[in-house]
Amino acid sequence: MLLHLLHTPTAGPLETGPGAPHALWAAQHAYRTAAARLGLETVRLGAPAAPAVLRDDTPAPVRKAVAASPAFLADQPSLLLRLGPGLPRERTVMFNVHLDTVAGGGPAAYDGVRFTGRGAVDAKGPAVALLAGISAAARACPSLGRDVSVLVQAVAGEEGGALGTYGTRPLVEAGHVGRVNVFCEPTGLRALTRATAAATARITVSGEDAVDDRPESGHNASVLLGFLAQHLADALGPDGPSGPPFTVCVAGLHTGTLHNKVYGGGSLLLNLSYASTAAGAAAEQAVVRALEEGLRAFTARFSGSPLFARTAADAARITRLEWEKRGLPALGGQPAWGEELLARAGVPRWPDHEPAFTCDAIWLQGVPDTFTTVLGPGSLDANRAHAAGEFVGLAELEAFAAQVAALLTTFAEDAVSARADGRTAPSGDIPPPGGAARAPLSRAAPSRTAPSRSGPSRDAPSPPLPPLPPLPSLPDRESRNTMTLEPGTGTTPEAGAS
């Protein structure tokens, strides 16, 4: 199964540009087929409507792509799966994993120890291990799928700068969340209960070009933007007056490629990572101030230069600040009961001194009566996510599947205990360690057919989808090298079988 997903190109057009192979629909069909064999039903499979995406807090590249072509969103489906009936939030666990990837990467392969290929660790490998963990938990704890529901969001639009705005965000805003929510990203199997967000500023210079024989007659955007890049790096850096609580990345600077021309136009990109909404607002204000200061400093520095006097005089007029994205939430401030639940499930914490990173978990910030964590195998740097040679070890995937199973069974035991005691969440009533004794779990075999419901479900199933075409088989060697977990931790579907 994992090899099949790794062979399926799912980098979106924001990553690859137009015309590149993009088979996210095929990947989603393969994933839901594998999930169905484990008892998970499809709640919905599709893309959001354009009005849900065309918002001010959607990154500009996404808005431009949606406005330019209706086919953009149509090719970006997200999948929602569920084990068991639609239950109240306090009896639901949600897992989120993205099946889109960044561009590039080498060929998919498995050597008996590790998988390589784009998405191996970020995040197709975790997606397959997630199903194995759910399957193992359901076998060990029949309350799962009966008294406790499991949601799986397999989404598009995590990569490419989309930040979940057409994948995760619509599903969260539609209410498809749990009391516990796990975002499957590489964390070294440590629970990270915070996630940064980012704002992207574009500084554009729109002046007049000039020929190289008369450079003083035009505006030199290269000199102006180069000066501003250095000024902003100093003013917004950790040692500058604006310092933390945000981190600046002075990114792409572009004017032109020719040697015999003065470019009057160009742009400079800044990315600002922050850990709270207040820090994000502070970062935006700091950029505005630093840019104004930089323009004044440039004018003072070059107003007496014959070559750059015109650029200095017009610098403020020809320079403008635009925001590619801003106003996005950051995840933080998770409740203590969730930390206790993870500890009892044997999941270690991400160290407080290590910085967080950006992922779709930001969209759970502020959702009441929930706990959200980021958890997965491998690491973004050591496993070469977003770089050539991306890989993940089979042992890492098996360990993550075991964590998923432990977390689900611990949550289910707590939920059954709470119901037996006549208590209900979401008021924070999941028993802490040493709390009320747990009721014994029933060992009746859980039904894997659509259960009856006493009332309307929040997650009504979507209309039936057309039959799935058979998937291409993989080479014999790859088919033999399927991912099999040790007894008691579940197995994944065989590669190529779905």
pLDDT in tens, 256-297: 999 999 999 999 999 999 999 899 999 999 999 999 999 999
What sign for the dihedral angle of Cα 166, 169, 170, 171?
positive
Percent of the chain at pLDDT > 70 equals 84
Q: What pLDDT score does 114 carry?
A: 97
- Please indicate, yes or no, whether residues 133 and 186 belong to a single structural domain of this protein: yes
In a domain, residue 473? The reply is yes
Q: Over the stretch 70-121, which tens digit does the pLDDT of each residue have?
A: 899 999 999 999 999 999 999 999 999 999 999 998 899 999 999 999 999 9
Mean pLDDT, residues 119-138: 98
From 346-350, 376-380, 402-406, 422-426, the region with the lowest mean pLDDT: 422-426
- Please indicate, yes or no, whether residues 376 and 306 belong to a single structural domain of this protein: no
Q: Over the stretch 297-344, which tens digit does the pLDDT of each residue have?
A: 999 999 999 999 999 999 999 999 999 999 999 999 899 999 999 999
Q: What's at 481, amino acid-wise?
A: N
Has residue 462 got a pLDDT over 70? no
- Please indicate, yes or no, whether residues 291 and 303 belong to a single structural domain of this protein: yes
Q: What pLDDT score does 498 carry?
A: 33
What average pLDDT does the chain have? 86
- Please indicate, yes or no, whether residues 33 and 149 belong to a single structural domain of this protein: yes
Has residue 451 got a pLDDT over 60? no
In a domain, residue 396? The reply is yes
- Please indicate, yes or no, whether residues 67 and 145 belong to a single structural domain of this protein: yes
Has residue 177 got a pLDDT over 80? yes
Q: Which residues contact 18 (CB under 8 A, 6 or more apart)?
A: none
Q: Which residues contact 342 (CB under 8 A, 6 or more apart)?
A: 191, 349, 373, 407
From 34-43, 84-93, 156-165, 446-455, the region with the lowest mean pLDDT: 446-455
Q: What CATH number does residue 434 fall under?
A: 3.40.630.10
Q: In what order do the strands lie in the sheet with 391-393?
A: 109-110, 114-116, 391-393
Has residue 225 got a pLDDT over 90? yes
- Please indicate, yes or no, whether residues 207 and 188 belong to a single structural domain of this protein: no
- Please indicate, yes or no, whether residues 19 and 77 belong to a single structural domain of this protein: yes
> In the listed set 325, 347, 365, which residue is the last one of a domain according to the structure?
325
Q: Over the stretch 400-436, which tens digit does the pLDDT of each residue have?
A: 999 999 999 999 999 988 887 766 553 444 333 333 3
Number of compact structural domains in the chain: 2
Q: What CATH number does residue 263 fall under?
A: 3.30.70.360
Secondary structure of the chain in HEC code, one letter for each residue: CHHHHHHCCCECHHHHCCCCCCCHHHHHHHHHHHHHHCCCEEEEEECCCHHHHCCCCCCHHHHHHHHHCCHHHHCCCEEEEEECCCCCHHHEEEEEEECCECCCCCCCEECCCEEECCCCCCCHHHHHHHHHHHHHHHHHCCCECCCEEEEEEEECCCCCCCCCCCCHHHHHHCCCCCCEEEECCCECCCEECCEEEEEEEEEEEECCCEECCCHHHCCCHHHHHHHHHHHHHHHHCCCCCCCCCEEEEEEEEECCCCCCEECCEEEEEEEEEECCHHHHHHHHHHHHHHHHHHHHHHHHHHCCCCCCHHHHHHHHHHEEEEEEECCCCCECCCCHHHHHHHHHCCCCECCCCCCCCECHHHHHCCCCCCEEEECCCCECCCCCCCCCCCEEEHHHHHHHHHHHHHHHHHHHHHHHHHHHCCCCCCCCCCCCCCCCCCCCCCCCCCCCCCCCCCCCCCCCCCCCCCCCCCCCCCCHHHHHCCCCCCCCCCCCCCCCCC
241: pLDDT confidence band, cut at 50, 70 and 90? low
Q: What pLDDT score does 243 carry?
A: 54
- Please indicate, yes or no, whether residues 346 and 285 belong to a single structural domain of this protein: no
Q: What pLDDT score does 102 carry?
A: 97
In a domain, residue 485? The reply is no
Q: Are 424 and 141 in contact (CB under 8 A)?
A: no
- Please indicate, yes or no, whether residues 295 and 355 belong to a single structural domain of this protein: no
Percent of the chain at pLDDT > 90 equals 79
> In the listed set 275, 291, 325, which residue is the last one of a domain according to the structure?
325
* Ramachandran area for residue 227 (φ above 0: left; ψ -120 to 50: alpha; else beta): alpha
Domain enclosing residue 210, as ranges: 197-325
Q: Are 167 and 156 in contact (CB under 8 A)?
A: yes
Q: What pLDDT score does 423 carry?
A: 63
Token pair of 58 as six digits? 């959607």
Has residue 153 got a pLDDT over 80? yes
Q: What pLDDT score does 460 carry?
A: 38
Q: What pLDDT score does 244 carry?
A: 59
Has residue 469 got a pLDDT over 70? no
448: pLDDT confidence band, cut at 50, 70 and 90? very low
19: pLDDT confidence band, cut at 50, 70 and 90? confident
Distance between CA atoms of residues 416 and 422, nearest Å: 10
Backbone angles phi, psi at 296, to 5 degrees: -65, -40
Q: What pLDDT score does 301 carry?
A: 98
Has residue 483 got a pLDDT over 80? no
In a domain, residue 491? The reply is no
- Please indicate, yes or no, whether residues 14 and 113 belong to a single structural domain of this protein: yes
> In the listed set 301, 325, 349, which residue is the last one of a domain according to the structure?
325
- Please indicate, yes or no, whether residues 201 and 221 belong to a single structural domain of this protein: yes
Has residue 497 got a pLDDT over 50? no
Q: What pLDDT score does 269 carry?
A: 98
In a domain, residue 9? The reply is yes
Token pair of 385 as six digits? 């996510």
450: pLDDT confidence band, cut at 50, 70 and 90? very low
- Please indicate, yes or no, whether residues 203 and 176 belong to a single structural domain of this protein: no
What are the distances in angstroms from CA 189 to CA 98, 185, 461?
Answer: 17, 9, 33
In a domain, residue 343? The reply is yes
Mean pLDDT, residues 475-498: 34
In a domain, residue 228? The reply is yes
